[in-house]
Each structure stands twice: as C-alpha cells, then as structure tokens.
C-alpha cells in the first residue's frame, strides 16, 4: 500500500532529524587537504561552541593587562559609512537611514515632546559581516559538517550550534601581538604588501623577529598587511579587490604551529584573513583556511580591522604587544557580528 503523504512526511522528518545527529560526512577535496591536519572536535566537550577561545581564561586576561604601559588606546573598527565600504563579493555595504530627524519637525509632521524636547532616530540594513566583524565558528565549513562535527542543517534559518552570539557571551580579552607583515615585507614608503601576496609561517616568524616581538602560547594574533587602506585611496598603488588581497596561505606547518601555540583567534586588516584564492597541489581552493581553522580547529577569525594607526605607534615605540578587548554583538543564531575592538598599550 502506498504511503500516505502525512506518513511520508513523518518518515522524511525522522530521517532528517537522524542525519542531524549522525552528520554522515561527505568527502571533498578539503578532506584530502586536511587529512593530517589538527582537529579539535570534542576537545572542550561535544557541545562546545566557542572553540579555541576556551584558551582565554583568567591568566590570559592578566597577561593582557600586564602589557599595559602608557594607557594609550586604539579602536580598530573601520568607519561604517552608508553605501560605501570594503565587503566580500555578494555582500553590500551598510545602508543607513534616518527614521526621524529635524525634517519632520520642520515640515510640521511632528511636534516636540511636552517640555520642548526633540529627538532623532535611525535604522540600518547591513550584512553583519559587512564591516569589521567576528565570525561565528559555524560561519564556514566543508562537506556537510560544521565545527564540532554537527550537521550543516543546524545552519538552516539560523545557527543552532556555534553561532556568533556564543562568542559575544564569552567576550574576547587577552594578550595580543601585532605582526606588521606589511611593514616588514612591504614597500618602504607605504608599508603594505603587494596584492596576491601569500603570507606563510616563515613570514610571521621573521616579522616577529624583526620587531623583537615574543609570541607566547595563547596570544591573539593580529596581522597587518596594509592592504585595506587601498579601498579609500583615490589613486592607490594597486587597485583594491577582495579577491586578490594579500593574506595567509594554507600549509600543514602553519596549522600545526597555530595548534601548538594554542592560538585562540586571528584578526587581520584584510577581507578574509587568508588569500581568498589559493592553488594547492594543482587544486583551486577558495578560503581553505576558513575550513581548517574555524571548522576543524575552532580558531576564531576576525576581519577588516583598521590597524594602520596602531602599527605606526608600535613602530615608533617598539611595543607590539597589548591588551585586546573585543565582544561581538550577541546575535542569537547569527553567522557573524560587527565589532569595534580596543587595543590598550
């Protein structure tokens, strides 16, 4: 006898629910690439949602506070300008509108409140990753499993696992080090890397050595390429393009080092932390480090930081370590969230 539609729907729903728990892995080129790479699934429990941020405890907060010498502060978010800003292809910049302003009073469409007070109000439409932002660990994956081995269907209509709201709840506080690769490897005048530059582990270590910077376990890595400033320049040395910005490149050596250093987060002044398009062993990959770092290792990524002012000050006083305080908005089930990090020296 054929299934009744209601019974068929029930069976289908049961199957989907079962797959959500089991999350049978689909094989992709990323699986081959990551075959011998570090994986932190289950390290902090089966239901962990903040990954390597678990490395940031009370000792790391005190280590961060111990770097403060002058009390100087730097905010590291780019401006949120309506209709303009560097974004990943497919996204649009923030759209900002006034809902109420002096115009409604001048046009006679509203009266001041009793006592004479007037007010303004505004609204924005934006991609939550359309400015300086933090990614939730479920933001990017390969196959059909996200961070922790949960099924990709947990992202449908909002993330029910490893959303950015969990990171907002924990907050990000610790000792950070600026690695100004743009100044170390880039041009003498602009201190920025050429487009399409691949940054590898040796470059990070050489930059730290040139700066006299010690990278400790559980330090937050803040990497400057110098690239993002091209977006606002009328006559840049090279045209800004999200797809050819300089950035980190995938290697097992880099991943193993980050794992050994127990790196909780990587923040950069480019659009994707990594070089967006990478050729590895004859295979083209788009953002492979997003899969390796967020999905597999639970390392939090944060992008589109403004680092030029901090970098200039660090080059002048020689201090490249600082206390970093950042908290994305508590967007429940969100993929990402704007953030305005603060560096305290």
Mean of pLDDT over the chain: 93
Stretch (H or E) spanning 177: strand 172-180
Residue 111's domain comprises 93-126
Angle between helices 201-211 and 252-260 (to 10 degrees): 50
Structural contact between residues 320 and 115, judged by C-beta atoms closer than 8 angstroms: no
Same domain, 294 and 221: yes
Quote the number of domains for the chain.
2
**pLDDT tens per residue, range 4-27:** 343 333 343 433 444 444 456 779
Tell me the pLDDT tens digit for each residue of 197-245.
999 999 999 999 999 999 999 999 999 999 999 999 999 999 999 999 9
State the burial class of residue 316 (Cβ atoms within 10 Å of its Cβ: 0-12, 13-18, 19+).
Answer: exposed
Residue 325: CATH number of its domain: 3.50.30.50
For residue range 66-102, list pLDDT tens digits in order: 999 999 999 999 999 999 999 999 999 999 999 999 9
Asked if residue 15 is part of any domain, the answer here is no
Burial class (CB in 10 A: 0-12, 13-18, 19+), 112: exposed
Kindly state the tokens that stand for 268.
């950069």
Residue 23, Ramachandran bin (φ over 0: left; ψ between -120 and 50: alpha; else beta)? left
Question: Are residues 202 and 112 both part of a single domain?
Answer: no
Looking at the fold, whether 260 and 218 belong to one and the same domain comes out as yes
| Residues 216 and 110 both lie in one domain | no
pLDDT, one tens digit per residue, over 127-139 is: 999 999 999 999 9
Query: Are 290 and 314 members of one domain?
Result: yes
């Amino acid at each position: 006898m054929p299934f009744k539609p209601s019974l068929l729907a029930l069976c289908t729903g049961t199957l989907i629910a079962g797959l959500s728990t089991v999350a049978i892995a689909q094989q992709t080129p990323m699986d081959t690439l990551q075959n011998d790479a570090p994986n932190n699934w289950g390290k902090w429990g089966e239901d962990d949602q903040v990954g390597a941020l678990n490395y940031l405890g009370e000792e790391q907060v005190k280590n961060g506070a111990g770097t403060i010498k002058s009390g100087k502060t730097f905010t590291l978010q780019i401006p949120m300008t309506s209709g303009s800003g560097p974004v990943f292809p497919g996204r649009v910049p923030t759209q900002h509108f006034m809902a109420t302003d002096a115009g409604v009073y001048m046009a006679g469409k509203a009266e001041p409140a009793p006592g004479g007070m007037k007010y303004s109000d505004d609204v924005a439409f934006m991609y939550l990753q359309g400015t300086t932002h933090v990614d939730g660990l479920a933001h990017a994956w390969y196959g059909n499993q996200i961070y922790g081995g949960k099924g990709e269907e947990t992202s449908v209509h909002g993330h029910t696992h490893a959303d950015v709201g969990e990171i907002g709840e924990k907050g990000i506080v610790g000792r950070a080090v600026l690695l100004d690769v743009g100044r170390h490897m880039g041009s003498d005048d602009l201190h920025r890397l050429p487009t399409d530059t691949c940054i590898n582990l040796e470059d990070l270590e050489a930059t730290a050595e040139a700066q006299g910077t010690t990278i400790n376990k559980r330090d937050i890595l803040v990497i400057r390429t110098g690239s993002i400033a091209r977006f606002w320049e009328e006559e840049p040395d090279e045209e800004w393009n999200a797809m050819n910005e300089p950035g980190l490149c995938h290697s097992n050596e880099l991943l193993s080092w980050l794992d050994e250093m127990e790196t909780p987060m990587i923040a950069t002044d480019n659009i994707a932390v990594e070089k967006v398009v990478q050729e590895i062993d004859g295979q083209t990959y788009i953002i492979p480090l997003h899969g390796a770092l967020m999905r597999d290792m639970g390392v939090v990524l944060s992008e589109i930081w403004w680092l030029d002012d901090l970098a200039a000050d660090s080059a002048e006083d020689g201090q490249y370590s600082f206390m970093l305080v950042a908290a994305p908005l508590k967007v429940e089930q969100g993929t990402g969230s704007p953030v305005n990090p603060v560096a305290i020296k």
